[in-house]
Structure 1
Amino acid sequence: MIRDLKELGTNIRTRRSDLEMSQGEMAFQLGTDKGYISRIERGEINVGIIFLTEICMVLKTTPNDLLNIDDNDQVVKAISRGGE
């Protein structure tokens, strides 16, 4: 499971690059600007669950992949322990 926003941003950037997609193209598909995508990828801003889901659709991946979650039980355990 990811530890911080920078790790999530790196995972998003890596997946976008793997698809040979520019920040501008990704931003267009998400209805935002490339500066916002850049800030997400640098880990400067928190991404809400709805927007993360939209990012996943554009990047043809799942939240589990971007969050480095191997098992759904990890999410339940992390939430029930307050993210410990």
Structure 2
Amino acid sequence: MTRPAQEPADDDLETSVDDAIAACEGDARAAVRALLVAMHHCQIELEERNEQIAQLARDLSRGYSRGRWEDLLTRAEVAIPYKPED
């Protein structure tokens, strides 16, 4: 199972906000734009990795692995977007 995301401490969050705005020369709109672009790229990478995991799950013979890959992925806390049909 996946772990819930931990909320950053208020001081850390404020420092991160200040750092992001400072990196954009004090322009808050530019900082928000940069963070949204970064988040979009992270989302695309996450979707690509989930597709790769799903393809691996489809390619891996359940008989060959005797179902062990599901246990390994669960222990590694990897979300399985594709559940094999029994």
Computing the radius of gyration over CA atoms, which structure comes out larger, 1 or 2? 2
- TM-score past 0.5 threshold: no
TM-score, length-normalised on structure 2? 0.28
Higher relative contact order (CA 8 A, sep 6+): 2
